[in-house]
Amino acid sequence: MRLMSELEEGLAHRIYDYEGTLADLVVVNDATINLEASNRAPLISDIDRVVGVGMGAVPPSRSRHLMACVNRGVLVEEMSESRLRDSQDWTAGDVLVRWLYGSPLTGPIQSSWQVTGVTGQDFVRSARLSHMGEHVANVLAVFVDECSLFEERPAITIGADSHVSAEEYRIVPLAQRPEMEASRTPAADLLVNVLKAVEESVDNPREHALETVVDPLGANLQSLRSPLVRSGLLTMARSAELMSATRMTYRELWGFLTRALVGDAPSRMPREHLGEFVMANQPSGLGAEEDFERMRILSALRFNQSIFGAGERSAAPDGSMRDPVLKLLIPVDPVSDAVPGSNPDAPGEGWATRISDAFGVHASDGTPLQSLLDSAAEDGPLHAVVTDFDRRLDDAFCQLLQSPHLKDEKRLEATGWYGAYLTRLYAVSHGICAFRREVDLLIRTWVQSPHLPDDLKSPLRTLIRPKRNPTESGSSLLPLFDSRTEPITGRTATPKLAVRVREPELSTNRQGQGEQVLLVIGTDGTTMSRVSLDFPLIREALACVDDHIGVTDLIDVTAPRLERVRASRLLSSHLHGAEFCLADGDSEVQITQRYRKES
């Protein structure tokens, strides 16, 4: 195809017009660029221009195609302008923007333009655009933010008339991720190709002199050659998405892979200085303390440290959350939630005991790293991730502890740092994130919708409807006249008028919600409220044990939602048939009989 007009080089342009043999192509490269400040709906205008509005000079036999790259913010702005027009004034651009935005075309619509024949899934849809009943164009929309780059690609078939059929989008449970076919995962496919390109650009990458040069970059390449280690690394990123209820774009994915390969080096030094940095921090052999400090500096480039912003220190420094990749990854740092146990493959069980046990070995019996390797299966991810760099770091740590003049404060600090390093190395290779149990339960909730997982039903009921006295078969009371609808628990200092809350009926709904799951709360078959069932709410629910309500550091996130759920129970339309009582001290006095709604 030939570009129809010359454009200034070096600048991004909104529109590119191409001339083809049988048809022309209009590409809206960046819909955020507005060429005319007076035009408040440029995308609608672009669509109208292509389908024929204002195209008087173009022969009608010459067909045109439109390909537009649009973010959701643009759709919001265009919709605000479209809402100012009556339906009889809608153009092709109006109805297509409304369809893409998700605004239902219902009610007394008088537009001559219609979108019909919609097929597909949430992430890809096709439709037919017609004018006064006459077919004008086929429309295909791909919603790239609906699917995670870390999940398998759904199979899609597009017919000659743009009619699309697609598999349902799936979220793979954590326990099944190591067996995923990597070639069907966009992120894994990109990582494999990046590793291939990097190794081809390095002279004899498999013959690096690791015995003489301590090379964390070569160690990263060596570790990531293992499919098990790659799976663990990508599972960490996927867990970060689920915890934050976001999805990485390709820009963030590239940032994540860059950190996995070279740490934060691109932000600290020019590319040509990276090799000099590695050589300048080689252990000198002049002292155990100095050698260990140099190894710590180099460890910042090791992927198990760099993806969490950790390096010379045990945790990421202040300000790291401004980095878009670290903002996602720091909350899943396994050091913040090292659960005791010895089963790294079961999401519901602990895994960190082997690491603490490794530091209990006597110096004459081996090193922490060797003890950890001895406790792991030889064909497992830990043996695949460990390289000569890790062994040299392990040796430097042991030499430091054997120094006769090492102060206790320095010994404890070094042990804490190296313990965090081994924890991350072990966890990342197995794909173990912080709060793995909660993340796994979030996935199972999505997979099993509309049914709740059995191990989540009781905690959620306790969180929404805590009993006044959990040790007895007591009732749950909501105060009628308090400023907040916090359930009455324990003894009341003053008498309070309250309503008894019956046990709620819980179900979920994810239809048309992408990866989001809605918790549906009802009573006697009537839906009382809906609330997003995400990671914070699940974590808060799992803090509830044996009908005792718990609390976590996410209470500020979940409290407003729980407030709305409980307040919905006090709506006048939901109080018919309710039981009222007076809570005074430890006692409850029923002050009314149960009233029924009059027919």
For position 59, what pLDDT does the model report? 44
The chain-wide mean pLDDT, for the chain, equals: 88
> What pairs with residue 134 in β-bridges?
131
pLDDT above 90: residue 212 = no
- Confirm if 523 and 578 have CB atoms less than 8 A apart: no
How many angstroms separate the CA atoms of 146 and 514, rounded?
6
What is the three-class DSSP state of 3?
strand
pLDDT above 90: residue 255 = yes
CA atoms in the 13 A half-sphere facing the CB of 171: 26
> What pairs with residue 2 in β-bridges?
19
For position 322, what pLDDT does the model report? 86
Closest-CA residue to 281 (of 177, 392, 190): 392
Q: Between 257 and 111, name the one with better pLDDT.
A: 257
Kindly state the greatest CA–CA separation across the chain. 92
For position 109, what pLDDT does the model report? 67
How many angstroms separate the CA atoms of 302 and 297, rounded?
10
Domain boundaries defined on the chain: 2-166, 181-437, 449-590
State the burial class of residue 103 (Cβ atoms within 10 Å of its Cβ: 0-12, 13-18, 19+): middle
Percent of the chain with pLDDT over 90: 61
Please write the tens of the pLDDT for every residue from 82-113. 899 888 889 999 999 999 998 766 655 678 89
Q: Between 85 and 239, name the one with better pLDDT.
A: 239
For position 452, what pLDDT does the model report? 96
pTM here? 0.88
pLDDT above 90: residue 336 = yes
pLDDT above 80: residue 183 = no
Please write the tens of the pLDDT for every residue from 10-67. 677 888 889 888 888 999 988 888 877 778 899 999 999 898 753 443 444 678 899 9
Closest-CA residue to 297 (of 386, 173, 396, 403): 396
For position 590, what pLDDT does the model report? 84
Q: Between 344 and 2, name the one with better pLDDT.
A: 344
Q: What is the mean pLDDT of residues 280-302?
A: 94
Structure-token match 């324990």, residue found: 490
Q: What is the mean pLDDT of residues 330-352?
A: 95
